[in-house]
Structure 1
Amino acid sequence: MSTRTASEGEERPIEGRADLAAPMQAGEKAPERWRIGTEHEKLVFRKDDHRAPTYDEPGGIRDILMAMQRFGWAPVEEGGKVIAMSGADGAISLEPAGQLELSGAPLENLHQTCAETGRHLQQCKEVGEEYGVGFLGLGMWPDKTRAELPIMPKGRYAIMLDHMPRVGTMGLDMMLRTCTIQVNLDYASEADMAQKFRTSLALQPLATALFANSPFTEGKPNGKLSYRSHIWSDTDPHRTGMLPFVFEDGFGYERYVDYMLDVPMYFVFRDGKYIDAAGQSFRDFLAGKLPALPGELPTPSDWQDHLSTAFPEVRLKSFLEMRGADGGPWNRICALPAFWVGLLYDGEALDAAWDLVKDWSMDEREALRNAVPAQGLEAPIPGGRRLQDLAGEVLAVAHRGLANRARYNASGDDETGFLEPLHEIVASRKVPAQRLLDKYNGAWGGDIGRVYEEAF
């Protein structure tokens, strides 16, 4: 989730709808300027007892963040507390229960992305050895109750934690117990954005299946392959889901603005503090009638904040965010940007990917999204087939797209090799969660503690 660190100072108020569409229009870039931004979260645990460390304890989350200074990272504070680190590789930030996130820098190719990921994980490993902590790549805490998890000192999280139980049964689980990998990608124009949005939204359930990695809750199998994805089904219906309007004729920036105006607010950021506006309307804010700040008008920064509080399967800000994948270990982190870059950053591949899914009805798309958390690649798709049958076709398209990009490293390798973990999953017909369940029911003998052997 986004981190704000200070008030924006004197900003003019939003003057009209053009200001609301401006961030999306400002995201338009010529293809040679397209970049890849990769975000990945990991669970932090004490090696001696597998406990989630608190923020303030010796060797806890604050100390882990501050130790990153040795690698050139600089502290970012909120209310006198270090809540993030800023550096050349982007930002290291905290999720609500201390999940550690790298929000990577915008990079030109996947070789750079994977090098960035490797640097970050090596830094985490070095600091972890010093403080006796490990980092686990899963989509959800496998054994912790919500009550066993700490809360990080970020103002927006306090507001969200208070609000979540009012709008869904699993919002607190989403905040406290889950981890994801996300990819942020660019577009050239409004039409290009719309095609990429539709294609990635329709195929997001496939990414969820390929990266499904959260089969345990509180020490036992939970009946799902991606419980993280299942959690989103009852987090907050006003700000999640498959967004049917994206597939309607005429979809563009203005329609997404309308959607965001109907997403209830969480907060307003003023003078370094978060003001609770949970459930209030940005439309009222535009009219100077926001109960949390009566008589005040929103600024562009307020709108940017609000854009970060919707959580659909694909999100639009000044770029498109792919949000469907569970957290995972090192080799699969690089596979997610490879999957989406291959499909969306080559025109031929983008057209081919859309052709595979363009005839699905909205009911069929929703049914697939709802089936995937439990069924993974065995989920049914239109035409009497299974998602497994489509997966190989989509990976072949992504492979061609990466080959067409012709981005090589110093050894002469292109970017297609980063898809190898996904090819292996499709060939084996087993998603990561199924491999974990095999271990749990086999070599682990039902001992969920053995899952920590999967740490980086």
Structure 2
Amino acid sequence: MARDTTDSQPVSGMDELASYLAAGCKPREQWRIGTEHEKFPFYVDGNAPVPYGGEHGIRSILEGMQQKLGWDPIMDAGRIIGLVEPTGQGAISLEPGGQFELSGAPLETIHQTCREGNAHLSQVREIAEPLGIRFLGLGGSPKWSLAETPIMPKSRYEIMTRYMPKVGTKGLDMMYRTCTIQVNLDFESEADMRRKMQVSLKLQPLATALFANSPFTDGRPNGLQSWRGDIWRDTDNQRSGMLEFCFSSDFGFADYAEWALDVPMYFVIRDGHYHDMTHVTFRQFMAGAARKEISDGMPTMGDWANHLSTLFPDVRLKRFLEMRGADGGPWRRICALPAFWVGLLYDATALDAAEAFTADWSYAEVQAMRDAVPEQGIATPFRNTTLREIAREVLAISRDGLKRRAKLNRDGYDETTFLNTLNEVVARGTTSAEEMLSAYHTRWGGSIEPVFLEYAY
């Protein structure tokens, strides 16, 4: 999320909370594609992490980008922590350890998404390279310890940093040492949301496997293909995971709102100040439990919107659906992730096929797959086959969906070309993580340093 909202409309009751989600329903012709990607900044000299301050720090990159783009600064306690396009069509933000994120504009085609990503990477290189800074496209920080990782001056992150060790063993790694590619997609009705939520939850472990790209920690192989995927298994299980209730045949907006009500909050914002609210759930907040912390003591719709943005299931429901399973990766992956999901979910025939293909997958089976994927990748067993074979079927459905969309670029190519990098994973039978590990043990000579050359944007 690029910036926290301060909508001051009071919350009048439970129905309003579910209605907030339902307000995301859009007719098909208004569906858009919003792609986000994160990357690790590093100094070329020594492959060292980049702090916020200083002449050659992240603040300088943000100031340079502001000057170049003319975007509005996002401020927190007097410090620039991001940028937003003046009409709200895209934003740049910082993750806790300095991961630099583009939250893209809502676009109609993957061709536009790819052009947006390429333009952003070109712009940020133009600003960062004179400072001796480049960016790394991996799902997990490969070299720096938590202690070596910089801390960005964002108020919400101070609250999260204190809270994370109380609710899981890997929350600080999630915050400071992971990167993702994410796509946000629309729905037209509650029934459409339900179908897309269920199909994408069932297939999210497959996305984690196909995009597995975080095999190193602290300068060494970590025994995993998606360290990032493993981190999410014990970050904060009250607000993360597969959400079994979403598998229900009558799942709807009210069910998600009911679940969200009982998840502990992170903060509320009043007069620009972040108040720590980790000791209460939103339901308790509605019952008046925050009267000591804030003067009015009662929630607003802005508080609800912010709370929804601090929930971290593998597929997150806001006024759109967020696909959250993929590791960050090379630039081709920035186009491949939205292509994968748009092909499956934005074509009616493809959604029917994906729903039929996964119809009898149980929550327990999907959870077992999700638990195995960080270590085993596309070799993960499922019933009498593997995720590699599942991927063949699912990619064929996605490819056919993209063909039927028939969104052509200026050269007459449709969006199926963006799946090529995933087709290569299946054809090879090895993930990006396994390719990196092979290089580490052979031509890299057991050194992590070449990753900063070969996987830099």
Q: Same fold (TM over 0.5)?
A: yes
- Output one character per residue of 1:130-150: Cα deviation in whole Å (capped at 9) or x when no partner: 110010000011011000011
How far residue 24 of structure 1 moved from its aligned partner, in angstroms, is 1.3
Partner of 1:269: 269
* Distance in 1 between residues matched to 2:111 and 2:19, nearest whole Å: 32
Query: How far off its partner does 1:87 sit?
Result: 2.0
Q: RMSD across aligned C-alpha pairs, in angstroms?
A: 1.2
Gap runs ≥5 in structure 2: none
CA distance in 2, matches of 1:436, 1:422: 16
Q: How does 1:295-444 map to 2 (within 5 A)?
A: 296-382=297-383, 384-444=384-444
Residues in 1 aligned to 2:128 and 2:54: alpha-carbon distance in whole angstroms = 15
Structure 1 residue 2 displacement after superposition: 4.3
- After superposition, give the CA deviation of every residue in 1:91-130 in whole Å (9 maximum; x if it has no partner): 0100001100000000011111000000000011111221
Deviation of residue 279 (structure 1)?
3.2
Q: Does 1:293 find its partner at 2:294?
A: yes
Deviations 1:364-406 (CA, angstroms, capped at 9, x unpaired): 1110000000000011112x11111110000000001001111
Letter matched to residue 85 of structure 1: L
Give the Cα–Cα distance (whole angstroms) in 1 for the partners of residues 50 and 265 of structure 2.
31
Alignment correspondent of 2:166: 166
2:316 partner SS: strand
Write the distance in 1 (CA, Å) between the matches of 2:249 and 2:279.
Answer: 30
What CA distance in whole angstroms lies between the structure 1 residues aligned with 2:70 and 2:434? Answer: 39
State the alpha-carbon separation in 1 of the partners of residues 20 and 266 from structure 2.
20
* Maintained 8 Å contact 2:280/2:289: no
For structure 1, the 5+ residue unaligned runs are none
Deviates more, 1:65-74 or 1:430-439: 65-74
State the shift of 1:295 in Å.
Answer: 5.6
The superposition leaves residues 63-113 of structure 1 with CA deviations (integer Å, 9 ceiling, x where unpaired) of 001111213333221111000011275101000011000000000111110
Q: What TM-score does the superposition give when structure 2 sets the normalisation length?
A: 0.97
**Which residue number in structure 1 is paired with residue 19 of structure 2?**
22
TM-score (norm 1): 0.97
CA separation in 2, counterparts of 1:387 and 1:289?
A: 46
State the percentage of identical aligned residues. Answer: 55
Q: 2:40 aligns with which of 43, 67, 88?
A: 43
Q: For the Cα contact (< 8 Å) 1:44–1:52, is it kept in 2?
A: yes
C-alpha displacement of 1:210 = 0.5
**Are positions 1:85 and 2:86 aligned together?**
no
1:216-242: CA deviation from partner (whole Å, max 9, x where unpaired):
010110000000010011100100010
Q: Which residue of 1 aligns with 2:142?
A: 142
- Three-state SS of the structure 2 residue aligned to 1:84 is strand
Q: Which moved more, 1:355-364 or 1:285-294?
A: 285-294
Take 2:70 and 2:414, find their aligned partners in 1: how far apart are those partners? 30
Give the letter for the 2:34 counterpart: G
Q: Which residue of 2 aligns with 1:191?
A: 191
Contact 1:440–1:446 at 8 Å: present in 2 too?
yes
8 Å contact kept, 1:346–1:405: yes
Asked if residue 76 in structure 1 is aligned to residue 77 in structure 2, the reply is: no
Q: Matches of 2:236 and 2:289 in 1, distance apart?
A: 24
**What residue number does 2:229 align with?**
229
* 2:106 alignment partner in structure 1: 106
